[in-house]
Amino acid sequence: MHIDQPMMVRIRRMLHMFPEIGYALPQSTALVRAELDAIGIPYEFERYGPSTIVATINSHIDTFTIGLRADMDALEIVELNDVPYRSRIEGQMHACGHDAHTAMILGTAKALWSVRDTLRCRVKFLFQPSEEQRPSGAQTMCEHGVMRDIDCILMCHVNCIDPTHIVSCCEGVTNATTNAFQLVVQGKSVHVAAPNAGVDALAMGIKIYMGLQMIVSREIDPFDTCVLGVCTMHAGTTNSVIAGDCTLTGSIRCLKDETLCYVRRRMDAITAAVCQEMGGSYELTFIDPPLPVAINDSTLYRMFVASAEKVVSKVTTLLPSPGGEDFAYYEQVKPGLLFGLGVKNPEKGFIHLAHTQHWDIDEDAMETGAKLFVQFVLDHMDGLP
């Protein structure tokens, strides 16, 4: 079956030039809708939340439905690549591959549309906003009922760890549960010449920071992946006054829900002890509900590997990632599967990791990604075992 690689490259580069954030995706959704119109595939726009698009092949078939998901949003990063398709929007960049994900799903849709009369299942293509921000676009779409008539769902995530065309997957956990936090420590501001009359919030913040580092290094099982990162600390306004408040922000990432709960309790206990010792107070806020753990369904894993090995020589092991993935919301409703696709090519200069200013991909890999989706649908259109 023909995969339109030039079309996917064109779409990916158009999206890359005009990256958009969160739910504010007017140009991205307009491009996706125009491509679907050109192919002829019917779709629903914003039925499942702002900036959502769900296209359907064989809407009349209700015995089995496969969902294929693409995220469309970008990141607030300044792009430093010197390429013709570099970002035209200052401070915004497709630095995680969502432009490629969207292009691959559109390429898959075009290929499957050409053989729609031979398909014995319904296929839904979910174009999702706000994977990188909260509230999650996947959560929003699920709350609006997008998974009601979908029996299983798949997604691909490109990466610059594996060489181009290398496919990776696993059964079980693929991505961590994540939770952002903000910790505000209150002291008493005084002139620096009279430190005994105040309560140094910056000193408390530093002591709390050091205490938090001990949670992962000394309290968590080394075989239980956990990341606790304090990413910002702000205190004080001048060089002659002791800080009266100090704000720390960061993120927790764990592969087990119970580990996340433990870390949150210990953060509160350590902060309370420091503030009691030094005479301050605090407010610890965990921002938004934790992103769920993403878990590949075992049956889908075996089905995917059987299909993938018709496209590539083998499927390598996908190691669980401390990074979050809101695809987990779909997996809480129906069986789901995430697979990785390598886009690293040192000869072409594609070596930089995601979420960095020089991220770029070997676009040749997109043809492999689309072929994997197509092969899975063709092999498993009659349903799950």
Alpha helices in 215-314 (DSSP H): 257-278, 298-308
The pTM is what?
0.92
Is 350 a domain residue?
yes
Q: Is the domain of 182 the same as that of 159?
A: no
**Per-residue pLDDT at 84:** 98
| Pair 286, 183 in one domain | yes
pLDDT at 76: 98
Domain termination site, one of 270, 290, 310: 290
How confident is the model over 86-115, as pLDDT tens digits?
Answer: 999 999 999 999 999 999 999 999 999 999
Q: Are residues 210 and 319 in the same domain?
A: no
The range of the structural domain enclosing residue 245 comes to 177-290
What confidence score (pLDDT) does residue 60 get? 97
Residue type, 363: E
51 with 118, same domain: the answer is yes
Are residues 44 and 134 part of one domain? yes
| Same domain for 309 and 244 | no
Return the pLDDT at 1.
75
pLDDT, residue 184, reads 98
Residues 219 and 233 in one domain: yes
Q: Which of 102, 41, 70, 112 is nearest to 371 (CA)?
A: 112
Total count of domains within the chain? 2
CA–CA separation, 79 and 88 (whole Å):
9
> 191 and 244 in one domain?
yes
The verdict on residue 275 lying in a domain is yes
Which pLDDT score, from 0 to 100, does residue 288 have? Answer: 81
CATH number for 216: 3.30.70.360
Closest of 175, 177, 182, 323 to residue 250, by C-alpha: 182
Q: Which of 120, 117, 138, 139 is nearest to 128 (CA)?
A: 138
pLDDT for res 147: 98
Give the integer Cα–Cα distance in Å for 373 and 385. Answer: 18
| pLDDT of the residue at 289 | 86
Q: What pLDDT score was predicted for residue 107?
A: 98
The confidence score (pLDDT) of residue 258 equals 94
260 and 349, same domain (yes or no): no
For residues 245 and 284, membership in a common domain is answered with: yes
Question: Does residue 385 lie within any of the structural domains?
Answer: no
Specify if 384 maps to a domain: no
Q: Report whether 83 contacts 337 (CB < 8 A).
A: no
Q: HEC profile for 182-219?
A: EEEEECECCECCCHHHCECHHHHHHHHHHHHHHHHHHH
Q: Which amino acid is at 191?
A: H
The parts of the chain modelled with pLDDT lower than 50 are none
Task: Judge if 65 and 136 occupy the same domain.
Answer: yes
Q: Specify whether 54 is located in the same domain as 13.
A: yes
The pLDDT of residue 74: 98
